Amino acid sequence: MSAALREPAPAKLNVCLFLGPPRDRDGRHELVTVFQPLTLADRVSLEPAPLGATADELSCPGVPGPPAENLAARAVSAFRGRAGWDGPAIRLRIDKRIPVAAGMGGGSADAGAALRLAARAAGVEDEALLREVAATLGADVPGQLRPRRYLATGAGEELHALPDPPPYGVLVLPAETELSTAEVYRQADLMGLPRPQAELPERAAAVAAHGADLPDELVVNDLEPAARALCPAIDDALRAARDAGADRVMVCGSGPTVVGLFRRVEAARAAAVALAGRHPRPLVAEPWPARTAEAVR
């Protein structure tokens, strides 16, 4: 490897999220959700480390915390161990566009991109190995390894490919504060939000039947009340998106990001202009199509 390798890392929108009880074996909650990657994406690159370096390096401007705790750095380390790759030290760089700790899967997206890059650098084409490593990093990472629209069950690691949705616009309203995913799940448990386990197969079947375009009654995020309880500013963002004309409004994943879904992309762009005075500034995205996802293989 003599030049930098690059991969996009698209954000994830949970178009629906039905929350079940925690599992006995690992404490993760059972879910029925749809992962929809978006054109809002980080940029991840991998290149040789500087001459003389003996350890992998990470550069992620704007994101605090020790590099060793970054999920993308952990992905490269886990890949080295599992694949037995002892290639020269590398430098991983992440240029962030996805809001941090925002419920949009940015860390998982970066980890998925890092695994693709490490596999390319090592010349490894073992898809089963990559999925095995991804599963050890977190429930969201397998769905970000090969980004496309999925129905996800289990704790999010059981993936069933769905067809692309019709074009639509996504108004993204980031928050000034961050929310811990684990804290939101704990709050959901305290509020009694998880559904009975027996209800989840019916929800999964309904989602699978509609696939590309869910009706309003399935565009539900069971974590939303918990996120709103922990971050009251979410209510203002929900109102702003609704007042801007969004056809559907919801908290993204565990929050605190709010999204407004528009049937026309142009309407989402107009809403972003109308809300340009907000801080952080609004963003606009569209669904990341499966044909684009094939390009990251």
Catalytic residues: 12, 140
Q: Which residues touch 201 (CB under 8 Å, ≥6 apart)?
A: none
As a whole number of angstroms, the distance between CA 205 and CA 217 comes to 14
Tokens of 232: 């009251």
Tokens encoding 207: 């989602």
Beta bridge partners of 9: 42
Distance CA 44, CA 38 (A): 16
Task: Report yes or no: 90 and 46 within 8 Å, Cβ to Cβ.
Answer: yes
Rounded Cα–Cα distance for residues 26 and 30 (Å): 11
Contacts of 141-145 spanning 24+ positions with Cβ under 8 A: 141/71, 141/75, 141/108, 141/111, 141/112, 141/115, 143/12, 143/35, 143/105, 143/108, 144/9, 144/10, 144/12, 144/37, 144/105, 144/108, 144/109, 144/111, 144/112, 144/113, 145/112, 145/115, 145/116
Q: What H or E segment, with its residue span, contains residue 227? A: helix 224-230
Q: Which helix (H) or strand (E) holds 207?
A: helix 200-210
Residue holding tokens 């609004």?
Answer: 282
248 bridge partner residues: 261
On the question of a cis peptide bond just before residue 289, with omega within 30 degrees of 0, the verdict is no
Q: 10 Å Cβ neighbour count for 147?
A: 27
